[in-house]
């Protein structure tokens, strides 16, 4: 299952959420269908995750103004594999709380969600305990200019955050936690360039893999993959 937002012209005007599905082992995706059309607000940045009990959560932001500074974090959920969805609920009452990547399930059973404040350009981590109906602020990075962090957990339980910049220097930064998010290392810049665009990351056999645009120019190409075998200290050859 995937969800994205579509818009006629500007990404923050009249955007709606669209969903498509592919059955396990299948080769084709279903046609996209609109699942959240709000005549009042434009919506964006959808994030999906499925809790251990099976419920599918869809987090997103609703723009109650003219830009992302006026975005409010909201949620709908589904108990029937996305056939039907709940009514929207607002998760955060302060505007500007943005999301970009799904949360990570901790050993405690809580989720940790990377978010960021659009106004201050600071990364904020939100936490949720069962039944995952509300989120609370758990950690705030003092650094400004690092947003849209993607979080990954390796086989040892170590957490890594991969940040994109909002200005120069245009490099991806990393931070690690070895205590399930209780404390975090100071974010450090890597050699991986970034054109102020989103990044994604995953862990495979304790290899840290980052998917991004390997350029400092303001464009969204090439799509590249880099791998680190030592937690981001050094990087192997980049594939485009």
End-of-domain residue from the set 76, 99, 122? 99
Same domain, 108 and 226: yes
Are 91 and 121 members of one domain? no
Residues 117 and 231 both lie in one domain: yes
Q: What is the model's pLDDT at position 12? A: 75
Question: What integer pLDDT is reported at residue 13 of this predicted model?
Answer: 83
Q: Are 220 and 198 found together in one domain?
A: yes
CB 82 within 8 A of CB 2: no
Q: Which residue among 81, 99, 117 closes a domain?
A: 99
pLDDT in single tens digits along all 240 residues of the chain: 999 999 888 777 889 999 999 998 899 999 999 998 776 899 999 999 999 999 999 999 999 998 999 999 999 999 999 999 999 999 999 999 999 999 999 999 999 999 999 999 999 999 999 999 999 999 999 999 999 999 999 999 999 999 999 999 999 999 999 999 999 999 999 999 999 999 999 999 989 999 999 999 988 999 999 999 999 999 998 998
Check if the beta carbon of residue 58 is closer than 8 Å to that of residue 85.
yes
- 47 in the same domain as 34: yes
Are both 23 and 126 inside the same structural domain?
no
Q: Which pLDDT belongs to residue 66?
A: 85
Are 80 and 132 contained in the same domain? Answer: no
Number of folded domains in the chain? 2
Report pLDDT for 86.
95
50 and 138, same structural domain?
no
3-state secondary structure the chain: CEEEEECCCCCCCCCEEEEECCCCCCCCCCCCEEEECCCCCEEEEEEEEECCCCCEEEEEEEECCCCHHHEEEEEEEECCCCCCCCCCEECCCCCCEEECCCCEECCCCCEEEEEEECCCCEEEEEEECCCCCCCEEEEEEEEECEEEEEEEECCCCCEEEEEEECCCCCEEEEEEECCCCCCCCCCEEEEEECCCCCCEEEEECCEEEEEEECCCCCCCCCEEEEEECCCCCCCCCCEC
Based on the fold, state whether residues 115 and 211 are members of the same structural domain. yes
Q: Which of 99, 130, 154 is the last residue of a domain?
A: 99
Q: Are residues 184 and 115 in the same domain?
A: yes
On whether both 46 and 164 belong to a single domain, the answer is no
CATH number of the domain where residue 172 is located:
2.120.10.10
Domain housing 33 = 1-99
Q: Name the pTM for this structure.
A: 0.95
């Amino acid at each position: 299952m995937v969800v994205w937002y579509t818009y006629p012209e500007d990404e923050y005007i009249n955007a709606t959420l669209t969903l498509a599905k592919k059955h396990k082992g299948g080769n084709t995706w279903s046609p996209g269908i609109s699942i959240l059309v709000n005549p009042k607000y434009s919506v964006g940045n959808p994030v999906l995750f499925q809790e251990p009990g099976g419920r599918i959560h869809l987090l997103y932001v609703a723009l109650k103004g003219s830009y992302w500074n006026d975005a409010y974090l909201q949620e709908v959920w589904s108990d029937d594999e996305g056939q039907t969805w709940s009514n929207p609920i607002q998760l955060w009452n302060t505007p500007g709380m943005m999301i970009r990547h799904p949360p990570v399930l901790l050993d405690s059973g809580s989720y940790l969600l990377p978010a960021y404040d659009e106004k201050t350009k600071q990364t904020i981590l939100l936490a949720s305990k069962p039944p995952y109906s509300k989120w609370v602020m758990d950690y705030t990075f003092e650094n400004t200019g690092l947003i849209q962090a993607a979080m990954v957990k390796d086989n040892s339980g170590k957490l890594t955050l991969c940040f994109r910049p909002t200005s120069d220097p245009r490099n991806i930064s990393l931070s690690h936690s070895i205590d399930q998010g209780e404390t975090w290392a100071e974010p450090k810049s890597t050699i991986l360039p970034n054109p102020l665009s989103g990044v994604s990351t995953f862990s495979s056999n304790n290899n840290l893999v980052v998917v991004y645009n390997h350029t400092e120019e303001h464009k969204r190409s090439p799509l590249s993959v880099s791998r680190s075998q030592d937690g981001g200290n050094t990087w192997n050859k980049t594939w485009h």
